[in-house]
Amino acid sequence: MIKVAVLMVTFNGERYIEEQLASILDQRLDDDIALDIYVRDNASTDNTVAILNKYKKENKIKLKLLENDGPAVSFLSLIKEATGYDYYFLCDQDDYWNEEKVRISLDRMENNKVPTMFFSNAELVNEKMETMNCTVYKKEPPHDLMTIACSGGILGCTVAFNSELRKYILNIPLNKEQIIMHDFLLALVCAAVNGKVIYYDKTLVKYRQHGNNVVGVSLSLRSKLLARLKNVYKKNDISISEQTELVLDTLKDYIPNNNINKLKRVANYRKNILTKLSLAFSSQIKYYSVGSFISVRLGILMGNI
């Protein structure tokens, strides 16, 4: 039997949560796949908890009610809590899953004995689940170690990973001051320990865009430019250097030497102008677009990311 855990964090999600849960419960699964849904609610003040309690009473989900620690720590705490599973899926409260998402994801991760992380493309839809005729990725995004360490770039609501990767995540302390985002950290750890990152170019998730999105996708040229400028000139609360240092300090015994040397460049990049220049113009960092090429390099030069 293949055991699968779906991990969801909720906060004031009453408008869309039932639609999302239905898409998970309606997955087309083989008889040898057992799926459990873990939900952590971060102190919702609307009807989210009442909706979730209904599903809990019907034994469709496992529910925990806690204070709001933000998405990163909340998801990571769920990863640590859900023991005994072969595969784990991250899930947002307001999206909608293709009925083949779990099966396709498992097919591509199957028989990988190394830490493995899977992510896919996603279709952008509006509040009413109407297509916006756009996908998150136009081409496969780079997902090598240095690119992930400096810019992330993997859409968390499409991510699945195996228990081998989870073993490493269990070592990471839930330090809010050093974790940018849970999906960013997962990808960084997977690449750092020479795990396998798999991209699937078809859309397996309808990624809903609405006014309450914690993290969305910029569509218009104006919004893209504003987002890029914000990334460059606004100093991030948590730097890539701090998150990378956390991974190095925690997992140094499991990271190959060549990867340790790469990650040290990121962890130490803000020390002086020479280290900033070295990283900003490094050929080891790949870029998904011209916009990211400019914003990441400028952000590194200014020490703001």
Confidence at residue 215, expressed as pLDDT on a 0 to 100 scale: 44
pLDDT in tens, 144-190: 999 999 999 899 999 999 999 999 999 999 999 999 999 999 999 99
CA distances (Å), 236 to each of 63, 157, 175, 247, 305, in order? 32, 22, 16, 18, 6
Instruction: State how far the Cα of 250 lies from the Cα of 101, in Å rounded to an integer.
Output: 32
The predicted structure's pLDDT at residue 266: 98
pLDDT value of residue 151: 92
Q: Which residues contact 61 (CB under 8 A, 6 or more apart)?
A: 21, 37, 38, 39, 52, 55
* pLDDT for position 224: 58
pLDDT of residue 295: 87
51 Cβ neighbours under 8 A, 6+ residues apart: 14, 17, 18
What is the structure's pLDDT at 153?
84
pLDDT at res. 244:
98
Task: Tell me the C-alpha distance between 29 and 212, whole Å.
Answer: 32
pLDDT at res. 219: 54
Q: What is the pLDDT of residue 26?
A: 97
Outline where 58-155 has alpha helix (H): 70-81, 101-109, 145-151
Residues of the chain with pLDDT under 50: 214-215
Question: Rounded to an integer, what distance in angstroms lies between the CA atom of residue 270 and that of residue 300?
Answer: 8
pLDDT of residue 13: 96
Please tell me the distance from the alpha carbon of residue 101 to that of residue 126, in angstroms, as a whole number: 20
Query: What residues are paired with 62 via a beta bridge?
Result: 38
What 3-state DSSP class applies to 148?
helix
Q: Is there a contact between 5 and 85 (Cβ–Cβ < 8 Å)?
A: yes
Residue 101, pLDDT score: 98
